């Protein structure tokens, strides 16, 4: 294929939507005459900022391969007109923009879409009205349009929600709503609040967050956002359509083992496989938008990076190959018989191809909790033997002193507190119970989604339980791999006080080889703050209340109530 040597850049190109609102885009296209396919990205984070507009693929390099790259500010953001109503606006606007892009005089009428996070949401919402020009998409690290984006099992993703509002939404929103003088003062206050955002995460009630409330123009959008009104409106548009029609689209899904949207990205892949077999999936040892070789407190090797995938590809080449196949009918770029799934296996730090997700050869194996009633001093044991008559473990969940977040699939300000991090300080707390296997004699691979079956009771009317899968190194270092949370009443309903219940806690997927000498560990607690809003144990939530009470939690592991984790083990 001949590489185009000259690229033309057009700034602030207008696109008028069905209601007369105009959105603006930057366009990168070959200077040579001809018709080319379009790659479209629609984002709320400013198309003129290179960290967003050039971050996911190189538009110049891609245009030199014979593509028109269009990067557009969505409605109500930066250059574009209109009122920003996140998620709810992207169905109709996505359809209109795709059809506009296909009609441009230098377009050949075929459109693909790309981008991560919100600008992967815009891809999925654009599918709903089935624009005829849209032929393939590449959604990365994003949510599922049938789920709330900032929640997990009825629990609010607190730090993510507040970070997104204060850091991503508020600056431009204030600029559009205020006079120049008012904005100058408002942005100073907002900057100061972002500098102390960790302290704001502690504030209750969440709906009255002072960092937002001091700006009256933010009140309405914050209220609707925190109450999931925008997302609910968007979902009414999706359920009104025939899912089998609009999910019938070739898609390349990109995910990270420590991405906050990992569960939902994999849900996208599995759902779309049911309607169109032309799906691909890649999962790296990455956090949200963080795709280098180092994350948290670990390094996974140079070729773990999305800029050197297995030493063969990078983000841009991955996109070019995918879209060459679907927009240029270049069948050489996707080899016949190539496995659709590519996963990075931590521990051995190797890429591996697979034929499906989840892996069919998985052997789901129970590892049971054991202890002498002292698992909160790290003496709990984890084995494949079923428990007999063992004393239960107890701990007190004090919402005024919650277990702090230490790594994981977080979306904190500037990527803080993400990825694998040593859990030993957390495990020393009296409100964390720990179950550890003996050191392994042979390697053991866990790839997929683990599940904790927790037999427990509480003296609260509602509470949370959290679980964490940990790889314990021979020197004692304990790195988190996967985690999950359940809000008790959300799963079971009714009053819980004193009732023994089996809670199912789905852990985020992972892929890790526990090497010889390593141990498998499960940490149990009732909070992971500020990743999630802390449960006040009163039956209310800290969205609306400041009242909190302590809860006495009991974990059972007897023959009749065998608390355990189900590990997805991959045989040799």
Alpha-carbon distance of 327 to 68, in angstroms, equals: 12
Alpha-carbon distance of 268 to 444, in angstroms, equals: 28
Task: Copy the structure tokens of residue 412.
Answer: 């904190």
Give CA separation, 343 vs 114, 141, 290, 304, 346, in Å: 20, 14, 16, 10, 9
The reply to whether 564 belongs to the active site is no
Largest CA distance in the chain: 79
Catalytic residue among 201, 253, 288, 518: 288
Alpha-carbon distance of 44 to 23, in angstroms, equals: 11
The reply to whether 35 belongs to the active site is no
Contact status, residue 122 vs residue 77, Cβ threshold 8 Å: no
The H-assigned helical ranges of 64-178 are 90-103, 118-127, 158-163, 170-177
The H-assigned helical ranges of 40-114 are 50-53, 59-63, 90-103
Alpha-carbon distance of 485 to 505, in angstroms, equals: 6
Contact status, residue 485 vs residue 533, Cβ threshold 8 Å: no
In a 13 Å sphere around the CA of 274, the CA atoms on its Cβ side amount to 10
The reply to whether 160 belongs to the active site is no
Within its chain, how far is the Cα of 413 from the centroid?
Answer: 15
Q: What is the DSSP letter of 194?
A: H
Radius of gyration over every alpha carbon of the chain, rounded to an integer in angstroms: 24
If we measure between CA atoms, which residue out of 382, 384, 383, 428 comes closest to residue 525? 428
Task: Copy the structure tokens of residue 455.
Answer: 């037999």
Alpha-carbon distance of 396 to 459, in angstroms, equals: 10
Catalytic residue among 73, 96, 193, 259: 259
Burial class (CB in 10 A: 0-12, 13-18, 19+), 571: exposed
Contact status, residue 283 vs residue 257, Cβ threshold 8 Å: yes
Contact status, residue 56 vs residue 140, Cβ threshold 8 Å: yes
Beta partners for residue 381, in sequence order: 370, 436
Pairing type for strands 36-43 and 68-73 reads parallel
Strand (E) or helix (H) holding 267? helix 262-273
Count of CB atoms situated within 10 Å of the CB of 430: 10
Contact status, residue 143 vs residue 288, Cβ threshold 8 Å: no
Count of CB atoms situated within 10 Å of the CB of 495: 12
List, by residue number, the catalytic residues: 117, 259, 288
């Amino acid at each position: 294929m001949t590489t185009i040597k000259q690229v033309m850049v057009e700034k602030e190109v207008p696109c008028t939507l069905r209601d007369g609102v105009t959105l603006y885009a930057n366009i990168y296209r070959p200077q040579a005459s001809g018709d080319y396919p379009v790659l479209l990205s629609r984002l709320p984070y400013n198309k003129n900022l290179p960290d967003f507009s050039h971050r996911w693929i190189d538009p110049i390099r891609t245009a030199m391969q014979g593509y028109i790259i269009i990067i557009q500010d969505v409605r109500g953001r930066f250059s574009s007109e209109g009122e920003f109503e996140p998620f709810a606006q992207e169905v109709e606007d996505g359809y209109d923009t795709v059809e506009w892009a296909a009609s441009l005089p230098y377009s050949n009428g075929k459109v693909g879409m790309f981008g991560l996070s919100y600008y992967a949401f815009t891809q999925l919402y654009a599918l709903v009205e089935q624009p005829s020009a849209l032929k393939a998409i590449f959604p990365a690290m994003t949510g599922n349009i049938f789920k709330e984006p900032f929640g997990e099992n009825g629990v609010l993703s607190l730090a993510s929600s507040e970070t997104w509002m204060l850091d991503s939404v508020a600056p431009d929103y204030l600029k559009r709503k205020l006079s120049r003088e008012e904005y100058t003062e408002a942005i100073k206050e907002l900057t100061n609040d972002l500098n102390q955002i960790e302290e704001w995460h502690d504030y209750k009630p969440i709906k009255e967050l002072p960092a937002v409330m001091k700006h009256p123009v933010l009140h309405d959008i914050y209220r609707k956002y925190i109450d999931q009104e925008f997302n609910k409106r968007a979902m009414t548009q999706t359920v009104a359509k025939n899912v089998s029609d609009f999910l019938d689209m070739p898609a390349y899904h990109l995910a990270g083992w420590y991405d906050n949207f990992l569960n939902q990205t994999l849900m996208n892949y599995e759902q779309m496989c049911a309607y169109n077999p032309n799906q691909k999936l890649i999962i790296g040892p990455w956090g949200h938008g963080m795709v280098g070789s180092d994350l948290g407190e670990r390094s996974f090797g140079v070729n773990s990076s999305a800029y050197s995938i297995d030493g063969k590809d990078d983000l841009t080449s991955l996109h070019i190959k995918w879209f060459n196949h679907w927009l240029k009918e270049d069948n050489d770029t996707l080899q016949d018989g190539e496995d659709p799934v590519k996963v990075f296996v931590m521990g051995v730090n190797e890429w591996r191809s697979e034929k499906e997700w989840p892996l069919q050869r998985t052997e789901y194996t129970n590892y049971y909790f054991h202890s002498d009633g002292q698992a909160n001093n790290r003496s709990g044991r984890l084995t494949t033997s079923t428990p007999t008559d063992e004393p239960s473990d107890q701990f007190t969940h004090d919402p005024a002193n919650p277990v702090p977040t230490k790594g994981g699939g977080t979306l904190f300000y500037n990527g803080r507190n993400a990825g694998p991090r040593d859990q030993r300080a957390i495990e020393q707390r009296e409100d964390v119970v720990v179950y550890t296997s003996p050191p392994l004699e042979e390697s053991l691979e866990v790839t997929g989604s683990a599940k904790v079956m927790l037999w427990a009771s509480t003296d609260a009317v509602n509470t949370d339980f959290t679980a964490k899968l940990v790889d314990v190194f021979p020197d004692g270092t304990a790195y988190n791999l996967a985690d999950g949370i359940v809000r008790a009443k959300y799963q079971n309903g009714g009053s819980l006080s004193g009732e023994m219940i089996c809670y199912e806690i789905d852990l985020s997927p992972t892929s890790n080889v526990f090497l010889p000498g390593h141990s498998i560990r499960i940490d149990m607690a009732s909070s992971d703050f500020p990743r999630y809003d802390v449960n006040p144990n009163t039956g209310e939530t800290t969205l609306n209340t400041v009242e909190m009470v302590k809860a006495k939690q009991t974990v059972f592991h007897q023959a009749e109530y065998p608390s355990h984790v189900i590990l997805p083990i991959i045989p040799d």
